[in-house]
Amino acid sequence: MGWVTNWLRRPMAVASAVPRSATREHGYTSDAANGFWADIDDEETPELRWPLNIPVYDRMRRQDAQVISVLRAVSLPIKRTPWQIDPAGADPEVVKFVSANLGLPVKGQDEDTQTGRRRDRFSWPEHLHHALLSLPFGHSVFEQTYRIGPDGRAWLRKLGWRPPRTISRIEVAADGGLVAIEQHGYAIGEQRSYRMTVDRLVVYVNEREGGNWLGQSLLRPAYKFWLLKDRLLRVQSQTIHRNGMGVPVYEASEQPSQISDPEEYKRRADAELDSGLKIARGFRSGESAGAAVPHGASVKLLGVEGTLPDAMPPIRYYDEQIARAVLAHFLNLGTETGSWALGSTFADFFTMSLQTVGLQIADTASKHIVEDLVDINFGPDTPAPRIVFDEIGKGLAAEAIKILVDARILTPDEDLEKFARQALSLPERKGPGRGHGEQPPATTDTTTEDT
């Protein structure tokens, strides 16, 4: 069997063994006509079909407290964790250039020794904020803009965000690859569109499947519960408003018995009822509230007979389901589970999901921001660094470091001290410290027993 292995290792033999038809695709991922992804009609809920779903998700993330809490629970830890440039074996000059463009520190280097570029006001935190909008909307699109610096290189001037509500068309190739994106024009008095090809774009997509560059909103599973909760809150508010004071009811007085004409009797009775209805409809609570009625008539405030339905249990249930949609079970602690016993388990599982979202952001940014910068300025064959971030939710345990040092598993050298100070947000060391590889002095028991 050795000759088979050696034969397979020969590049020419492998090339000749691969049929020519296997070097190109025959099937397809997107069957869209004219290059437009047409599977948006697969959404069964009409108001959630693109582009109608964009304003719906926008209302959800702006108007509902539970939805806002859920989105912040997902996005804030990702924004808060330190983001860095990992050299990943790239040339130091390339790493320094990428770091200066993005304003991110290089992993393992002192931040104060790095000169982060602040020209043209590019901000990685601001870019990250808009990139995370791919979670509620399903996608977030940016257009790359460069400037030629004094060194003759193309510097990243801006990553311009293109709001989802402005996107009018997405061109997709048969293999599912993105071709271009078009925007609605903003010129007054004329129709105009703007087409941006994929080589100028950075596109973050949540849960992309094949040629679906619209993605799926993180809020899609929560929409039903948000809608029912919104309706129930309106009914609850109206119930309290109507029944808190009572419903005004006007009782008309008896008409004079000397009226013998039936038509006159009916006319006077209808006129009094119309007047009483205006009093009832205009009745409001307050210091100056009141009503004047004819002799024999009355205005009563009638409450509900029996028990009003309690809207809080279903509202609480809907809130729990909204949190479940993004694995944020810990937001329901004390209501859904009745205790905090499962708090750490829920939090760890949720942290894993945040780590996955962060990896998706870092992967897209490394491929379409960092690698594009390197390709333009240093060539497509030049190794490129990558964007990384500290693990979310895993802080440095000082006690664990002490145990490892005492067990002589770790050596308290300069690198370890620098790492610990950065991880624990401690101030920089002033003056000389302990030498490399020097162990801490052994502790001795200096207490003496009285004799």
Q: Summarize pLDDT for 178-218 with one digit per residue, the tens.
A: 999 999 876 555 667 889 999 999 999 998 888 889 999 99
pLDDT at 428 exceeding the cut of 60: yes
Nearest to 214 by CA among 168, 159, 158: 168
Question: In this predicted structure, which of 2-11, 35-44, 189-198, 296-305 has the lowest mean pLDDT?
Answer: 2-11
- Provide φ and ψ at 194, rounded to 5°: -125, 125
143: left (phi over 0), alpha (psi -120 to 50) or beta: beta
What's the pLDDT tens digit per position in 208-263?
Answer: 888 889 999 999 999 999 999 999 888 887 777 666 666 778 788 877 777 777 88
Lowest mean pLDDT among 44-48, 56-60, 316-320, 417-421: 417-421
Model pLDDT for residues 108-160, shown as the tens digit of each residue: 776 654 444 455 567 899 999 999 999 999 999 999 999 998 899 999 989 99
Rounded to an integer, the average pLDDT of 400-411 is 75
Non-local (6+) Cβ contacts of 128 within 8 A are 78, 79, 83, 361
| Strand (E) or helix (H) holding 178 | strand 178-184
**pLDDT, greater one: 367 or 41:** 367
Rounded to whole angstroms, how far apart are CA atoms 179 and 116? 33
pLDDT at 396: 52
Least confident of 108-112, 152-156, 164-168, 336-340: 336-340
| Residue 96, both tokens | 């320094």
- 79 confidence band (pLDDT: 50, 70, 90): very high
State the pLDDT at residue 245. Answer: 62
Pairwise pLDDT comparison (257 vs 175), residue with the higher score = 175
Nearest to 76 by CA among 368, 334, 328, 324: 328
- Looking at residue 159, what is its pLDDT? 93
- Note the pLDDT tens digit of each residue in 281-322: 777 766 666 777 777 778 777 666 666 677 788 888 888 888
DSSP designation for 382: S
Nearby residues of 308 by Cβ (< 8 Å), 6 or more positions away: 239, 243
The whole-angstrom separation of Cα 199 and Cα 189 is 31
Q: Where are the beta strands (DSSP E) in 82-222?
A: 83-86, 139-148, 154-162, 167-172, 178-184, 193-197, 201-205
| Percent of the chain predicted with pLDDT > 90 | 35
pLDDT at residue 431, as a whole number:
62
CB 204 within 8 A of CB 123: no
pLDDT at 12: 52
- Residue 4: what pLDDT? 40
pLDDT (0 to 100) of residue 8:
42
Average pLDDT over residues 394-403: 64
* 349-361 pLDDT tens trace: 778 888 999 999 9
Question: What pLDDT, on the 0 to 100 scale, is given for residue 344?
Answer: 55
State the pLDDT at residue 136: 95
Of 150-159, 161-170, 326-335, 436-445, the poorest mean pLDDT is in 436-445
pLDDT recorded at residue 290: 73
pLDDT score of 88 more than 60: yes
Q: Token digits for 216? A: 């799926």
Residue 20 has pLDDT above 90, yes or no: no
Residues written for the chain: 451
Model pTM score: 0.73
Main-chain phi, psi angles of 205, to 5 degrees: -125, 130
Judged against a pLDDT cut of 90, whether residue 367 lies above it is answered with yes
CA distance 287 to 281: 18
Calculate the average pLDDT of the chain: 78
